[in-house]
Amino acid sequence: MKDKNKSRIAGAGRKAKAAGGKFLKTVKPKRLKYIPLFPSLITIINGLFGFTAIVLISRYNPAIEKEVSYHNIELTFPALTGYMVLLAMVADVLDGRVARISNSTSTFGGQLDSLCDIISFGVAPAFIIITLTGTQLDILNSTPLLYDLLQRLIWLSAAAYVSCSAIRLARFNVENEKSKRHHLDFSGLPTPAAAGVIVSLVIFQQEALPEFTTPGSGYYTAFNRLLLWMLPVAGFLLAILMVSRISYPHIINQYLKGKKPFAYLLMSLIVVGLIIWVRQIALVVGFWGFVLAGLVRYIAKELSKLTKETPAASPKTAAGETGDD
């Protein structure tokens, strides 16, 4: 009897194994055969700009003032790094436009876009925070305890920025929908805007500050240190805003796409003129204004909700309370 049961169990096991092997043979891994070529190339260019920004800022030497010279145009490595991130933003805008115009949007393109964005708008700005702020720590060598504390805080700021930008991009991929209404605003600060806040400060510090103040003077030293120490503070703030649920408008889809009033054209020309005339100031005002406007709008909205939820005292109650007094 025991032998029969053993043979039955063994037979059932052989059948299950055969069925499982047959099933595994019929299931083939899904392979990607076709991809949107032109939008993917633009997306990779975005990542390459970000990679170039990381390489440039890693070569920064604060002892050398002018480091890059090309056709009589001299730029420091930090300023050139900032422009590389801005060029990555242009490529990030173009790849989506090209994909939609050519009707070649795909899941592959969306995933590739996020991978390149984490390089250009996640790792590159974080590396800028560590490199530039770290150059100011030499004044604290005489106080090792404060030096070590600030070094840890700078690293923590950059790590928080990178982590939250990755979370922001992953959440966007999961929650992204194809409806037009879904693309009118963002839930949380977009990573390109966060990177713009960092690089706008760097470009202003490297190009505009020497023009407004005399390099080597007390005012220059004070403002230079203030701008550089703003980077880790901004890193913490931007990290929180990226993973928050604060709504930020999609500038292109809301204000530039489709038919708009004639005043929009005049405003656009004024903005372009300011960028060409005083691009360093325009970048700081534009990116910081975008971030802070969304934060202020959110706070005002929450405060209005609290005032509506608080019941107002009725006249009778108020009169009764006054009589008791």
Residue 126's identity, in one-letter code, is A
Task: Report residue 157's pLDDT band, with 50, 70 and 90 as the boundaries.
Answer: very high
Is-contact 83 120, C-beta < 8 A?
Answer: no
3-state secondary structure of 187: strand
Predicted confidence (pLDDT) at residue 73 exceeds the cutoff of 50: yes
Q: Is 315 among the domain residues?
A: no
pLDDT of residue 178: 65
Q: What is the CATH number of the domain that holds 116?
A: 1.20.120.1760
With the CA atoms of 233, 247, 116 and 76 taken in that order, what torsion angle do they form, in degrees rounded to the nearest 10?
A: -40
pLDDT tens column, 170-204:
999 888 776 555 567 888 999 999 999 999 999 99
CA angle (124 as vertex; 67, 214 as ends), nearest 5: 40
Is-contact 54 124, C-beta < 8 A?
Answer: yes
Q: Is 303 among the domain residues?
A: yes
Predicted confidence (pLDDT) at residue 319 exceeds the cutoff of 70: no
CA angle (281 as vertex; 280, 287 as ends), nearest 5: 95
Q: Is 204 among the domain residues?
A: yes
Q: Which of 294, 185, 164, 176 is nearest to 242 (CA)?
A: 164
Q: Is 269 among the domain residues?
A: yes
pLDDT of residue 231: 94
- The average confidence (pLDDT) of the chain is 81
Task: Report residue 88's pLDDT band, with 50, 70 and 90 as the boundaries.
Answer: very high
| Domain span holding position 279 | 37-308
pLDDT tens column, 225-258:
888 889 999 999 999 999 999 999 887 777 667 6
pLDDT of residue 137: 72
pLDDT tens column, 91-107:
999 988 888 888 877 88
Pick the more confident residue, 269 or 121. Answer: 121
Q: Is 23 among the domain residues?
A: no
Strand partners, 68: 75
Token reading at 308? 């509506």
pLDDT of residue 123: 96
Mean of the pLDDT values across residues 109-132? 94
Q: Is 297 among the domain residues?
A: yes
Measured in whole angstroms, how far is the alpha carbon of residue 268 from the centre of its chain? Answer: 24
3-state secondary structure of 75: strand
pLDDT of residue 235: 96
Q: Is 88 among the domain residues?
A: yes
Looking at the chain, the whole-number percentage of residues with pLDDT higher than 70 is 77
Q: How many domains does the chain have?
A: 1
pLDDT of residue 322: 47
Predicted confidence (pLDDT) at residue 130 exceeds the cutoff of 90: yes
Residue 112 neighbours by CB under 8 Å, 6+ apart? 40, 43, 44
Measured in whole angstroms, how far is the alpha carbon of residue 179 from the centre of its chain? Answer: 23
The secondary element (H helix, E strand) that includes residue 112 is helix 107-117
Is-contact 195 151, C-beta < 8 A?
Answer: no
Task: Report residue 116's pLDDT band, with 50, 70 and 90 as the boundaries.
Answer: very high
Q: Which of 252, 133, 117, 134 is nearest to 195 (CA)?
A: 117
3-state DSSP helix/strand/coil % of the chain, to nearest 5: 80, 5, 20
Q: Is 29 among the domain residues?
A: no
Mean of the pLDDT values across residues 153-165? 96
Token reading at 102? 């050519």
